[in-house]
């Protein structure tokens, strides 16, 4: 029985490790400027955890195979070094890992959260609602018109509750169901929730942030590769949560300017 358990443990350890080593199911390519820090952290953590996982299963397997009750009257014995050795080893191994990952890991976090967007970042507002994302650009006047919740009328596509009749700054605001941005330019995203909690996640951009009703939350990022990517909601927001997404379209600067001009007409 012990040998059978040992074999199963080894198979489990190896079987679990293979898809990881082969990146069978893995993060998509990184198209952001800060993502490489997260990816490096991920690889380091995966290496340390992976080794710890496999080692624990293999050592357990070895001991289980070796130390079954052979009914030969042999007295049980302790591991040389005893508890003291184990405690010191545990503290040394995990302690150093904790320090390394904790201390060095803060750079990725700091890059996303501890600095303000650069001065010429493009400001875009995103509103999350049950069940879609809508985006607003300031338009040629560079100003966002005020939002009036009581004026929201989805049937006429007034998702932000704008009042262009009375608010001059709202007249040139561009509302879009897709997030269209130029490549290699920092975007300053202002996140607003209309109804309940939602979240903004783009795997390729290596960013994720919850929307909090009552809080307007700033985010910034820069995309480095053109293409179409999915923005998905990751915070349970009601029955349509599974179908809450929008597309991020990263264009060349010229294509973006063209698109912006088209929207203004």
Partner 1 sequence: MLDASAPVVHQHAPPTSFIRKWVFSVDHKVIGKQYYGLALISVFLGMILSWLMRFHLVWTNAAIPGLQLISKNGAPGGVMTPEYYLSLLTMHGTLMVFFVLTNAPFAGFGNYFLPIQVGAEDMAFPRFNMMSFWVTFVAFVVLIAAFFIPDGPPISGWTAYAPLSAVGRDAGPGLAWGQTLWAISIGLFCVGQLLGSLNFIATTLDLRTKGMTLSRLPISTWAWFITSCIGLLAFAVLLPACVLLILDRVAGTSFFIPAGLVISDHLQPHAGGSPLLWQHLFWFFGHPEVYIAIVPAVGIVSHILMASMRKPLLSVKVVYSSMIAIGFLSYMVWGHHMFLSGMNPFSGLVFSFPTLVITIPATIITMIWIGSVYGANLRFHTPCLFSLGFISVFVAGGVSGFFLAQPSLDIQLHGTYFVVGHFHMVMGVAAIFGILAGSYFWFPKMTGRMMNDTLGRLHFWITFIGVYCIFMPFHYLGLAGNVRRYSSFVDDYLQPLLPLHKFITIAAFITGAAQFIFLYNLIYSRFKGAPAPANPWDATSLEWSTTSPPPFDNFGGRHVVVYHGPNEYGVSGAHGDFIMQDSSEPGPEPVPGD
Partner 2 sequence: MQVVKVCTTLVAALSIAAIVTAAPGGGTVTGKVTYTGTPVKPKPIDMSKEPSCVKQHATPEMTETVVTGPGNTLENVVVYISAGAPAESNASSAATFDQKGCHYQPHVLAFEVNQELKITNSDQTSHNIHPLAKVNQEWNKSQPPGTPPLTAKYEKPEFISVKCNIHPWMHGYFAVLGTSHYAVSDGSGEFKLPNLPPGKYTLTAWQESYGTQTQEVTISGNETKTVNFTFTAKPY
Q: Which does 156 bind (CB under 5 to 8 A by kind): partner 2, partner 1, none?
A: partner 2
Size of the site for partner 1 (CB under 8 A): 104
Q: Which residue pairs, CB below 8 angstroms and at least 24 apart, start in 154-159?
A: 159/127, 159/129, 159/134, 159/194
Q: Is 67 in the site for partner 1 (CB under 8 A)?
A: yes
Residue 146 in contact with residue 167, Cβ under 8 Å? Answer: yes
Q: Which does 52 bind (CB under 5 to 8 A by kind): partner 1, partner 2, none?
A: partner 1
Q: What strands, in cross-sheet order, belong to the sheet with 186-193?
A: 174-176, 132-137, 122-129, 186-193, 217-222
Q: Is 189 in the site for partner 1 (CB under 8 A)?
A: no
Residues 203-242: x where in contact with partner 2 by CB under 8 A, - otherwise, as a string = -----------------------------------xxx--
Instruction: For residue 189, count other CB atoms closer than 10 A to its CB.
Output: 22
Q: How far is the CB of 19 from partner 1 (least distance, A)?
A: 5
- Selected from 157, 252, 258, 264, the binder of partner 2 by CB under 8 A is 157
Residue 124 in contact with residue 250, Cβ under 8 Å? Answer: no
Residue 161 in contact with residue 155, Cβ under 8 Å? Answer: no
In the beta sheet, which residues pair with residue 208? 201
| Pick from 97, 108, 112: nearest CA to 36 | 108
Which of these segments, 85-93, 113-121, 183-191, 243-251, binds partner 2 (CB under 8 A)?
243-251
Residue 207 in contact with residue 94, Cβ under 8 Å? Answer: no
Which of these segments, 83-91, 116-124, 166-174, 180-188, binds partner 1 (CB under 8 A)?
83-91
Q: How far is the CB of 114 from partner 1 (least distance, A)?
A: 7
Q: Is 89 in the site for partner 1 (CB under 8 A)?
A: yes
List residues binding partner 2 (CB under 8 A).
129-132, 153-157, 159, 163-165, 176-178, 238-240, 243-247
């Amino acid at each position: 029985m012990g040998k059978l358990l040992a074999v199963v443990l080894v198979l489990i350890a190896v079987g679990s490790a293979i898809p990881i080593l082969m990146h069978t199911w893995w993060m998509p390519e990184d198209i952001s400027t800060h993502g490489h820090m997260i990816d490096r952290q991920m690889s380091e953590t995966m290496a340390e955890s992976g080794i710890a996982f496999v080692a624990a299963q293999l050592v357990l397997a070895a001991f289980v195979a070796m130390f079954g009750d052979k009914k030969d009257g042999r007295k049980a014995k302790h591991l040389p070094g005893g508890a003291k050795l184990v405690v010191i080893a545990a503290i040394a191994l995990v302690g150093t890992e904790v320090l390394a990952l904790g201390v060095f890991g803060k750079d990725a976090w700091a890059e996303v959260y501890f600095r303000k967007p650069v001065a010429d970042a493009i400001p875009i507002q995103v509103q999350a609602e049950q069940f879609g994302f809508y985006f607003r650009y300031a338009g040629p006047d560079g100003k966002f018109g005020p939002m009036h919740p009581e004026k929201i009328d989805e049937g006429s596509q007034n998702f932000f509750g704008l009042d262009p009749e009375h608010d001059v700054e709202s007249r040139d605001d561009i509302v879009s169901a897709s997030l269209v941005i130029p490549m290699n330019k920092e975007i300053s995203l202002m996140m607003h929730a209309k109804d309940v909690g939602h979240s903004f996640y783009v795997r390729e951009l290596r960013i994720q942030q919850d929307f909090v009703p009552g809080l307007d939350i700033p985010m910034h990022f820069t995309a480095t590769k053109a293409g179409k990517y999915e923005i998905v909601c990751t915070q349970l927001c009601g029955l349509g949560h599974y179908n809450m997404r929008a597309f991020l379209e990263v264009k060349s600067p010229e294509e973006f300017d063209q698109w912006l001009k088209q929207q203004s007409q």
